[in-house]
Amino acid sequence: MVVVVVVVVVTVEMVVMVVVVVVVMVVVAVVVVVMVVVVVVVVVVVVVVVVMVVVVVVVVVMAVVVVVVVYSHASPPPDIF
């Protein structure tokens, strides 16, 4: 009778340990996936911001070039200021 109780207790403890290990592994996997998703989102946001800044700089440079070309080729030069 004592042997049966000991075997049952040891078996239950082993099952509980396995369940705890599996739960911990699942939690760690979920945390890693969430961290990877956050990193990907941050990288995408940074790339979008950099592209927007580059587009704004290109538009400003083109506008300055157009103003300079129009100002230098006009006769008489217009008073833009």
Domain count, the chain: 1
- Tokens 């006769």 correspond to 75
Residue 31 lies in a domain: yes
Answer yes or no: is 6 within a domain. Answer: no
> Residue 3's Cα: distance from chain center in Å?
56
Mean pLDDT by 10 residues, the chain (81 residues): 78 94 98 98 98 97 89 65 59
In a domain, 44, yes or no: yes
- pTM of the full predicted structure? 0.56
Element (H, E) at 71: helix 2-73
Find where tokens 């705890």 sit: 20
Q: 32 in a domain, yes or no? A: yes
In a domain, 69, yes or no: yes
Distance, CA of 8 to CA of 5 (rounded, Å): 5
Euclidean distance between CA atoms 32 and 9, whole angstroms: 34
Q: State the residue range of the domain holding 41.
A: 12-73
Across 1-81, the runs of DSSP E, i.e. the strands, are none
